[in-house]
Amino acid sequence: MKRLFIATFVLLNSVAAFAQHTTQEYLRKLSIAEMAINNLYVDSVDENKLIEDGIRGMLEKLDPHSSYSNPKEVKQMNEPLNGSFEGIGVQFNMMEDTLIVIQTITKGPSERAGIMAGDRIVGVADTAIAGVKMSREEIMRRLRGPKGTIARLKVVRSGIKDTLHFNVVRDKIPVKSIDAAYMMTPTVGLIRIGNFGATTYNEFMEAMRRLQDKGMRDMILDLQGNGGGYLQAAANIASEFLQEGELIVYTEGRRVPRQEYRADSQGMFRNGRVVVLVDEYTASAAEIVTGAIQDQDRGQVVGRRTFGKGLVQRPIDLPDGSMIRLTIAHYYTPSGRCIQKPYVKGKQKDYAMDVMNRLKHGELTNKDSIHFADSLKFYTLHEKRLVYGGGGIMPDHFIPLDTTHYTRLHRELVAKNAVVSQNLRYMDKNRKQLLKQYPTFQRFKERFEVPQSLIDNVMREGEKQKVKPKDDEELQRTLPTLRLQLKALIARDLWDMSEYYSIFYEDSEIVKKALELLK
């Protein structure tokens, strides 16, 4: 027995030594190649870029979600998830080459300094930013800066002859991940989550309590277009709908043992009915919440099959601030479904075209085009309802993509910026009058009608961009959606995103189905 133990010990040590020797050989090979290119290649090379390209090259041969980001990309990627950035606190848009303030962030530095919606910021410090064709990214770079520093702004305000000067002390600006939270009926509330970031759970709880105070008994949880984010944020929110101890999701990989996430308390919304809205862009953390609610028979899912992003990435920080996001495991729903859709290693282009392929094959418009193998059948944990694996979450109630609703004309008017630019012009001229005429959103929603002059301006702008209706039939099909979108944009500019969705969702088939299920 002792001899067997010694022999086994020697063998394992030999294998480990061989593996270490092999790894060192591979690294030496890579190092020699890099040195040869850097020192002997006919033209000069950027050594840092050479290394970055080598890292990207290795990762591109793996799955579609393992990736490398340079320091600048890491900062841009983390900002929406970290919940804040440092700047002056305005929402703005560009009209031609001039920055127009849409809204100031409530209690933010610009509001405190006296900046108002409708103001044009024409200069920062001694640099003009209007009329000089400066890129949006460059303007944002000048407006942002470390907390406590001063942005000296030159502002043109309607009705005031002289240029105004403001010293705005930059501060931390919150980035909200709850896009909307409002009552759809006296007892049904809607909460729309844009992504799952560091502050999402607290935002969600605040929104839920506010709506419960207004009488919410049932909830529509809107995850359409939600690309995911932090797993823990998703698990925390799912926990609010479930009984203590119920499984939310588990992860497992080749070198990563199974790790389970369970509801860790009696959730605040365990009793009200829930409908989750999803579409083909609902992904990752959003699919975790959807899968948990569906598998635990806690609510119904309405929409179209979700994206199918079920790979777990571990961030690996590099010394210069860059980062590798390496896939280490898969996500599984409580019933055991793998969320990740199939892919071929190194075929990122095919993977990226998946949603377009779904449209071509008819999956987004016709439920009968969707077929599942028997091996993909799973059952919910309590009511034993049939659900399917194979990538993404298949909804309980399929709502086709209405390709006639958004006409070619409407899509091109939006793409050419005709809708947003003319809405900006309209708001610039009519903001004060609108607020006086419609002091409350409810009054606006009930009585405001988009003027024909605004529609005409959008169509004229489209003609300048060579966008015209094919015939009168296409124009008539476009007008109702165009009017609804413009009314929603005006509501957003006068109030906020909750008011935008309150109007825009009046014509949504997915939302209508959710309300029908909750009647």
pLDDT tens digit string along 40-68? 888 888 888 888 888 888 888 888 888 88
Q: What kind and span of H or E run contains 240?
A: none
Give the confidence band of 278 by pLDDT, cuts at 50, 70, 90.
very high
pLDDT at residue 18 is higher than 60 = no
| Candidate from 101-110, 178-187, 272-281, 299-308 with smallest mean pLDDT | 101-110
- Mode of pairing for the β-strands spanning 120-124 and 98-104: antiparallel
Listed in sequence order, the DSSP H helices in 91-152 are: 109-113, 136-143
Residue with tokens 């413009």: 486
Cα(210)–Cα(468) distance, rounded to whole angstroms? 45
Mean of the pLDDT values across residues 388-393?
88
C-alpha span between 367 and 18 (Å, rounded):
54
Residue 17: pLDDT band with limits 50, 70, 90: low
In the three-class reduction of DSSP (H, G, I as helix; E, B as strand; rest coil), residue 244 is classed as coil
| Active-site position among 284, 335, 498, 502 | 284
pLDDT of residue 420 exceeding 50: yes
As a whole number, mean pLDDT of residues 325-334 equals 93
Closest C-alpha to 333, from 372, 369, 306: 306
- H-only helix segments in 277-417: 285-295, 348-352, 354-361, 408-415
Query: How would you class 162 by CB atoms within 10 Å of its CB: exposed for 0-12, middle for 13-18, buried for 19 or more?
Result: exposed
Quote the DSSP letter at residue 131.
S
Q: What is the pLDDT of residue 289?
A: 98
Q: What is the mean pLDDT of residues 118-136?
A: 82
pLDDT at 473 over 70: yes
Q: What sign does the dihedral 129-177-504-411 (CA atoms) show?
A: positive
Who wins on pLDDT, 18 or 505? 505
Span 390-402, mean pLDDT?
Answer: 91
pLDDT the model gives residue 21: 60
Rounded to the nearest integer, the mean pLDDT of the chain is 87
E strands, 353-422, where? 377-379, 386-388, 397-398
Cα 446 to Cα 358: distance, rounded to the nearest angstrom: 38
Helices 418-437/452-464 angle, 10° precision: 160
As a whole number, mean pLDDT of residues 84-103 equals: 78
Q: Which position has the higher pLDDT, 133 or 5?
A: 133
Residue 334 has pLDDT above 70, yes or no: yes
309 is catalytic: yes
What are the CA-CA distances from residue 80 to residues 17, 200, 230, 475 (Å)?
A: 45, 11, 11, 38
Average pLDDT of the residues in 226-244:
95
More confident residue, 221 or 43: 221
Residues in the chain: 519
Given the residues 295, 354, 493, 496, select the one marked as catalytic. Answer: 295
Structure token digits, residue 258: 């199974």
Return the pLDDT at 484: 95
Predicted pLDDT at 83: 63
More confident residue, 425 or 181: 181
CB atoms near residue 429 (< 10 Å)? 12
Question: Which has the minimum average pLDDT: 119-123, 203-207, 278-282?
Answer: 119-123
Q: What is the pLDDT, as a whole number, of residue 237? A: 97
Calculate Rg over the CA atoms of the chain: 27
Structure tokens at 396: 């309980």
**Lowest pLDDT segment from 61-70, 82-91, 406-415, 473-482:** 82-91
pLDDT confidence of residue 145: 85
Model pLDDT, residue 80: 66
**Can you tell me whether residue 412 is helix, strand or coil?**
helix
- The yes-or-no verdict on residue 268 having pLDDT over 60 is yes
Is 295 known to be catalytic?
A: yes
Active-site residue, selected from the candidate residues 119, 179, 222, 309: 309
Average pLDDT over residues 279-299: 96
- For the chain, give the percent of residues with pLDDT over 90: 47
Query: Residue 76 CB: number of other CB atoms within 10 A?
Result: 11
Q: Quick one: pLDDT at residue 13?
A: 53
Give the whole-angstrom CA distance, residue 102 versus residue 94. Answer: 10
- Could you tell me the sign of the dihedral formed by the alpha carbons of 37, 39, 40, 45, in that order? positive
Answer yes or no: is pLDDT of 250 > 80: yes
Of residues 159 and 56, the one with the higher pLDDT is: 56
Q: So what's the pLDDT on residue 5?
A: 43
Is 284 annotated in the active site? Answer: yes
Instruction: Tell me which of 27-36, 363-372, 444-453 is least confident.
Output: 363-372
Average pLDDT on 314-318 reads: 90
Burial of 70 (0-12, 13-18, 19+ CB in 10 A): middle
Tell whether the model's pLDDT for residue 379 goes beyond 70: yes
The tokens 């929110």 sit on which residue? 237
| Helix (H), strand (E) at residue 3 | helix 2-40
Give the whole-angstrom CA distance, residue 66 versus residue 325: 5
- Flag the least confident range among 14-18, 149-153, 231-235, 399-403: 14-18
Residue type, 382: H
Instruction: Please name the residues in contact with 434: beta carbons below 8 A apart, sequence gap of 6 or more.
Output: 427, 444, 448, 490, 494
193 secondary structure, DSSP code: E
